[in-house]
Amino acid sequence: MLRDYQMDAIERLRAGIRSGVRRQVLQVATGGGKTKIAADMTERAAAKGKHVLFLADRIELVDQASARFDQEGISHGVIQGQHWRFRPYEKVQIATIQTLANRQHDPFDLIFVDECHAGGKRLNEWIARQDSVCIGLSATPWAKGMGKVWNKLVVGATTSELIKLGFLVDVVAWAPSEPDLTGVRVVAGEWAENELAEACDKPKLVGDIVAHWIAKGENRQTIAFGVDVSHSKHIVEQFQQAGISAAHVDGYENQVERKKTIDAFRRGEIKLICNVGILDKGFDVPEAACLVMARPIRSSLMLHIQQIGRVLRASPGKVNAIILDHAGNLMRHGFPTDPLPEELDDGKRKEKAKAKPKEKQPKKCPKCAYVKPVGVHACPACGFAPEPPNEVFHEPGELRQVMRPEDKRQLFAEIKFIQEQRGRSDGWAAWTFKKMVGVWPNNYRDVEPKAAGEWVVNRVRSFDIAFAKSKQKKPLQAGWKEEALRA
């Protein structure tokens, strides 16, 4: 069954087709069901006798799309090498552009292009030659020059909207130590890979990745992104030496072996899978709930959002996704819930705009590594509040956490819920909030209690346990209750 925003997206695409727009891009955040939308439109078109093509980016995504079409009951063939599903008589076909460009084929009435932002010159030239209705699918349709090929952008659902609807989970981000990129050359907008790998593949940095994962990763199924094959393998070796099941995949491996590794990760037999350019798009494992960013991204917002999207999908018992950013990417590109571009790039050189004040970016807590959102002074994780003018200082190897301002009000509402449920005092609620956030809840006294989530319940439980243990050793510090009531 289609979700409301999916039905709305389909209606807007159809309206575009009726108005004569032949090439539209549908932007839906990762986990929003782009393939589901394509499958619904495919089924309806095939029922009318239309020929439909679904273009995937690579063979793994061909098989993934084929499996999804099977779930929807759509009879189809696959145009891919000696694929066992080669059925040229079917009205619906799935293929890669690499295969299709080298083969003769009958014209299609409707073409879907998955991950259309990543097609490059070859795909764009092929699309330009088609007289078919073409619909591109992407969570990040911001590649340079897309507007030269595609005529219209339809925004279906954003990450923030899908989090609110419960189809994605929000993130808890930590920004540990990161590499010194001084002197690393920039090539085509990104750091030169060989020099970047040398800067990132240091024993201390790789060791920090393992240590911080043990401290903050909560033993979750984890996806990691390395700079190159050597860097990725070194990360995996360090995890294995620490007794953690880990594996590496890259584009140079045999497809059969790579599939075995990925399937083992899906089954939970491998705790961490580190990759180079393989899992950054179309990889669907909802159980993955931790992301290790070990590859610095200089300018590609698309790659940044695609990587984070690998761990945002909701699954039973998954309350959030943990990001361990060892590359400084959150500082450069922000959160996936931040406002994102809503237009296609036409490839034209933009006029130099007047200088604008530089937008503030999230900051790392210098004491615990929580990545704080813009406007938050005291760290929501450890309570550290830097004193001006030394707003931020650096302590190598320390974690720093990040949280958004609106979360404070929600947090106090959940603490008040526990307070009422357990018959505790107002002073207890204020003290608990201060212990979590670092400041008294003076601005949130008016919030109504709301059902507490698992994370808040667990934090309160940990405080209760620590309090009980401390009573066995020494009495509670005098005056805490009076201090809380005065706040």
The span from the CA of 345 to the CA of 145, in Å, is 5
Q: How many domains does the chain have?
A: 3
Tokens of 221: 């199924």
Q: How many H helices and E strands in the chain?
A: 17, 18
Residue ending a domain, among 300, 333, 366, is 333
Residues 74 and 196 reside in one and the same domain: no
Q: Is the distance from CB of 271 to CB of 301 less than 8 angstroms?
A: no
Q: What is the mean pLDDT of residues 76-98?
A: 91
pLDDT in tens, 144-197: 889 999 999 999 999 999 999 999 999 999 887 688 888 899 888 899 999 998
What phi, psi does 451 have (nearest 5°)?
-50, 130
Return the pLDDT at 366.
Answer: 79
Q: How many Cβ atoms sit within 10 Å of the Cβ of residue 81? A: 10
Same domain, 46 and 179: no
Same domain for 423 and 297: no
Output the pLDDT for position 315: 94
Instruction: Inform me whether the pLDDT recorded for 395 exceeds 70.
Output: no
Mean of per-residue pLDDT scores for the chain: 86
Instruction: Name the residue with tokens 């292009």.
Output: 113
Indicate the range of 24-28, 137-141, 199-203 predicted with least confidence.
199-203
- Would 140 be classed as within a structural domain? yes
CB 393 within 8 A of CB 404: no
User: In terms of pLDDT, which residue wins out, 312 or 102?
Assistant: 312
Chosen domain end from 157, 183, 204: 157
Q: Mean pLDDT across the stretch 33-50?
A: 96
Query: Could you tell me if 184 and 282 lie in one domain?
Result: yes
DSSP assignment, residue 370? B
- pLDDT of 359 reads 63
pLDDT at residue 28, as a whole number:
96
Position with higher pLDDT, 246 vs 410: 246
Domain check: are 144 and 9 in the same one? yes
Distance separating alpha carbons of residues 109 and 112, to the nearest angstrom: 10
Look at residue 372 in the predicted model and tell me its pLDDT.
80
Q: What is the pLDDT of residues 247-294, one digit of tens each?
A: 999 888 888 898 899 999 999 999 999 999 889 877 888 999 999 999
Distance in angstroms (rounded) separating the CA atoms of residues 36 and 296: 32
* Residue 487, pLDDT score: 45
Q: Are residues 188 and 151 in the same domain?
A: no
At 208 the pLDDT is: 86
Which segment, 62-66, 98-102, 243-247, is predicted with the most confidence on average? Answer: 243-247
What pLDDT score was predicted for residue 113? Answer: 95
More confident position, 441 or 388: 441
Q: What percent of the chain has pLDDT over 70?
A: 89
Tokens encoding 41: 């439109």
Does 28 share its domain with 65? yes
Is 282 found in the same domain as 232? Answer: yes
Measured CA to CA, the distance from residue 20 to residue 121 in angstroms comes to 25
pLDDT at residue 438, as a whole number: 66
Q: Among residues 333, 360, 375, which one ends one of the domains? A: 333
Domain that holds residue 180: 171-333
* Structure-block tokens of residue 34: 């782009």
Question: Which pLDDT belongs to residue 269?
Answer: 96
Cβ–Cβ < 8 Å for 320, 171 = yes
Q: Which of 15-29, 41-55, 106-120, 389-403 has the lowest mean pLDDT?
A: 389-403
Phi, psi of 110 (to 5 degrees): -140, 130
Shared-domain flag, residues 190 and 224: yes
Residue 30 inside a domain? The answer is: yes
One domain for residues 317 and 459? no
Q: Could you give phi then psi for residue 27, rounded to 5 degrees? A: -100, 115
| Cα–Cα dist 139/156, whole Å | 10
Question: 194 φ, ψ to 5°?
Answer: -65, -40
Give whole-number Cα distances, 404 to 288, 337, 378, in Å: 23, 10, 12
In degrees rounded to 5, what are phi and psi of residue 223? -110, 130
Out of 97-106, 350-359, 385-394, the most confident range is 97-106
Tell me if 66 sits within 8 A of 94, measured CB to CB: yes
H helix or E strand, kind and range, residue 310:
none
Scan for tokens 């204020």, then name that residue. 430
Specify the pLDDT at position 389: 33
> Of the ranges 20-29, 364-373, 396-405, which one carries the lowest mean pLDDT score?
396-405
Tell me which residue of 147, 154, 96 sits closest to 117, measured CA to CA.
147
pLDDT at 12: 97
User: How do residues 218-243 score in pLDDT, each as one tens digit?
Assistant: 999 999 999 999 999 999 999 999 99
- Average pLDDT for 339-352: 78
Q: In this structure, is residue 166 part of a structural domain?
A: no
Is the peptide bond prior to 176 cis by the omega test (within 30 degrees of 0)?
no
Structure tokens at 80: 């891919």
Residue 8: give its domain's CATH number: 3.40.50.300
Strand partners, 321: 171
Same domain, 25 and 151: yes
Tell me if 361 is assigned to some domain.
no
Nearest to 190 by CA among 332, 14, 21, 68: 332
Confidence at residue 403, expressed as pLDDT on a 0 to 100 scale: 54
Residue 413 placed within a domain: yes
Residues 6+ apart with CB under 8 A from 47: none
353 compared with 312, residue with greater pLDDT: 312
Task: Answer yes or no: is 345 within a domain.
Answer: no
Distance CA 82, CA 73 (A): 23
Q: Has residue 339 been placed in a domain?
A: no
Q: Which helix (H) or strand (E) holds 60?
A: helix 59-71
Clarify whether residues 213 and 272 are in a common domain: yes
- Per-residue pLDDT of 295-308, as tens digits, reads 999 999 999 999 99
Establish how many alpha carbons lie within 13 A of residue 298's alpha carbon, considering only the half-sphere containing its beta carbon: 14
The answer to whether the beta carbons of residues 291 and 311 sit under 8 Å apart is: yes
**Residue 35 near residue 65, CB atoms below 8 Å:** yes
Query: Beta-carbon neighbour count of residue 287 at 10 Å?
Result: 16
3-class state of residue 59 by DSSP? helix
Amino acid 346: pLDDT: 85
Examine residue 399 and state whether it is found in any structural domain, yes or no. no
Listed in sequence order, the residues at least 6 apart from 462 whose beta carbon sits closer than 8 Å to its beta carbon are none
pLDDT of 4 strictly over 90: yes
Position 385 confidence tier, pLDDT thresholds 50, 70, 90: confident
Residue 474 has pLDDT above 90, yes or no: no
User: Does residue 56 have a pLDDT over 60?
Assistant: yes
Q: Who wins on pLDDT, 7 or 484? A: 7
Pairing relationship of beta strands 171-174 and 321-325 according to DSSP bridges: parallel
Q: Tokens in use for 486?
A: 């005065």
- Tokens 């799935």 map to which residue? 94
Contact 266, 285 (CB under 8 A): yes
- Checking if the pLDDT of 63 tops 80, the result is yes
